[in-house]
Structure formats: structure tokens, C-alpha cells
Amino acid sequence: MWPRRDLLDLLGIEHPIIQAPMAGASTPALAAAVSNGGGLGSLGCASMSLDDLEASTEQLRNATNRAFNLNFFAHQTPDLAPETVTATRSLLQPYYDLHDLGDVPQTSLAPFEPFDEARLALLLKLRPAVVSFHFGLPAPETLDALKDTGARILCSACTVNDAQTLDAAGVDAIIAQGYEAGGHHGDFAMPADPVGVGTMALVPQIVDAVKVPVIAAGGIADGRGIAAAFALGASGVQIGTAFLSCPESSVSEMHRSALGHANDDETRLTRAFSGRWARAKTNPYIEAMEPHSQALPEFPLMYGFSNPLRTWSTNEGNEDYQFMLYGQAAALNRELPAAELVELLIEEAQVIVGK
């Protein structure tokens, strides 16, 4: 049925479709629908408390008896230099004044923690079939402990060099994330400029450079993209933006409406909200911050300075400070329940693969 089965056999799934984790937008209902449809549903867990992680996993297990993926960030929380705070406060204060938000905070606490010992201990108890990471990997002993439970390890790479690092570290499959992808790009380091390699160029180069199965990601929204990924040598795809339009996702109505009217050139990579390059729908705030990108705090501390603007924007129904993450293929989205979307993606791809 599919040109290659290595990824299917590795993950214990029927179809080579992984729903991207999309922290803040994925839900147990979305992940369960994809897994029940024969793909691999994923839950973005980076911003969850331990209690929420355990409860969401239980909810997911109650909705599917098939494999699913729990995803985490492997970032390091940076120091916040005084000069960076001064520069950021100076840049943002006019926006705070415009909307009567008071003074820009003088410091920022990380809104969520990187993968740590407490999360590892909980995963050893929960024993998910698949665990994935973004922004690199945790320590080797952590990976060994997870693998001892039988978990398969996935991680994103945006360059051949990062993919080779993952291959040497012993991951089971690599997600080749192209420049077109929505959300945060999984670069190990935080590059100064929003550079990137497109999916069409990245996937075959990573396929040639590593020994493990490669999963294509970025700009894949329909069966044509899935078939193309196989032609490039991938063993499966990871799709995010296309699932945001499903009723099971937790995106806001403003975000959902934007997806329904999306076009190909309305997104850009920005550090204006989180401190890491992420593809989102552009707006006046993003455009204004672009020349000052290098003056902003690094991920995730920038959230502490941008969140008051984002909250005001949400409360006012205003898009000017919204962080609406999605990729360059959003115009191809279909507003369907996740189970129906998975079925349609399989049908579309099979027609092409069969030829």
C-alpha cells in the first residue's frame, strides 16, 4: 500500500501520517482521532504542568488504544542580561502606553520549563509508545531510560548537520522540518537570522545523510505532499497546519478564521513573541519588531514581555498582537473532523502513489 514500511513497522501504525504536536493547539481528542485513523496522533506537552500532562495522557488513553506521541522541548533557559531588558522595555513601552497596559515588566520568568527529571519520572510511569523532542535532545542517559520502556524517540532537524547529530545520538527516526513549516522551527541553536532550508531541498539531503527513517515536515497539506515526500525518500510525513482547522484543535476563533482566509505569502518567521524563530501570520507588531529581532530576549523569556500585548489583543478581538502560528500551505486546509481529514489524506496520496 505504501512505498516504504520502515516507519510504519517502527511506530506500529498503519499509515505514514504523524499529526504535529503543536503545543497549545493540539488536544487529546485530536491526537486520538488521528491515532484511531491509523496515523500517529501527537500531544504537545511542553507547556503542561505535571498534573496536566498526566491527566491529558489518561484522557488520550481512554480515547484510543493505539500508539501516540508525547512531545517536549529540549531548550535551555537563558540568562536575561540587564541591557537586553532595557532594550526590550524601550521597544515595547510605546505599545503598552497605547493600550494603557502600564509599564513593561522589568524581568521575565520562563513560562514553562525544559524537559527535566520530573517529566522523565512521569514518562517512565506513563510509558507512551513514542516520545519526541524539539530544539535538540535531552541527555543521553535520559534517552536510554525512555528507550528502556520501549518508547521510540523522534526529534526535529532543520539542517543536515542537526540530522547527523540526531542519528549519532540514537534517535529512532528524524523529522526533517522545512522552512515552510508553521510554528517554532526546531533548530538546535538559535540562529541570528531567519535562515532555513525548504522541505524539497532538505528531505533528500537528510535521507542521504542518515541511517534511520526520515519524516518530511513543512508545507505538506494534502495527498500530493505526502506522495512527494515519498518520492524524495522520506518514509512518512508530519502534518501540523492542516489539522489546525479540525474542530478538535484548540485554536481560537480568531485563529480559525485566519486559517479559513489564508494565502501563501502572509506568514513570516519572527522572534517578536517567544524569542525563537517561529512562522506565524504577520501583523503590525511583528513587522515593527523585525528590525530589532537581535535585541529581544531569547526563548522562552520573551513571552514575559509580549504576553500582556497578546492578552490585550485577544480580549479586544484584535489581530495586531496575535501569535497565530501556521505554515505556508494553510490555504490548502479543509475544515473537516480529524478522522475524516486523515481518511481523505490517505485516499488522495494512494491515488498518486498507485500511479
How high is the pLDDT of residue 195?
Answer: 77
- Secondary structure of 210-236 in HEC code, one letter for each residue: CCCCEEEECCCCCHHHHHHHHHCCCCE
Dist. CA 153–CA 132, nearest whole Å: 6
Do the beta carbons of residue 212 and residue 174 sit within 8 Å?
A: yes
Q: Rounded to the nearest 5°, which phi and psi values hold at 134?
A: -130, 145
The mean pLDDT values, 10 residues at a time, for the chain of 355 residues are 95 98 97 98 96 98 98 92 96 98 93 91 98 96 97 97 97 98 91 85 98 98 98 98 98 97 97 96 97 94 97 96 98 98 97 88
CA–CA distances in Å: residue 318 to residues 275, 284, 322: 22, 11, 8
Strands 173-177 vs 214-217: parallel, antiparallel or unpaired: parallel
Q: Rounded to the nearest 5°, which phi and psi values hold at 183?
A: 75, -165
Side chain identity at residue 233, one-letter code: G
How high is the pLDDT of residue 109?
Answer: 84
User: Cell match 526533517: residue?
Assistant: 176
Nearest 10 degrees: CA dihedral of 227, 233, 237, 238? -140
Dist. CA 166–CA 114, nearest whole Å: 18
Cell of 66: 493505539
Q: Rounded to the nearest 5°, which phi and psi values hold at 174?
A: -120, 130
Do the beta carbons of residue 7 and residue 39 sit within 8 Å?
A: no
Cell of 16: 505514514
How high is the pLDDT of residue 12?
Answer: 97
The 8-class DSSP code of residue 193 comes to S
How high is the pLDDT of residue 191?
Answer: 76
Measured from the Cβ of residue 67, the count of other Cβ atoms closer than 10 Å reads 16
CA diameter of the chain: 62
The 8-class DSSP code of residue 325 comes to B
309: left (phi over 0), alpha (psi -120 to 50) or beta: alpha
How high is the pLDDT of residue 2?
Answer: 94
CA–CA distances in Å: residue 169 to residues 71, 144, 172, 192, 211: 18, 10, 9, 26, 12
| Predicted TM-score (pTM) of this structure | 0.96
Cell of 201: 531541498
Dist. CA 227–CA 236, nearest whole Å: 9
How high is the pLDDT of residue 257?
Answer: 97
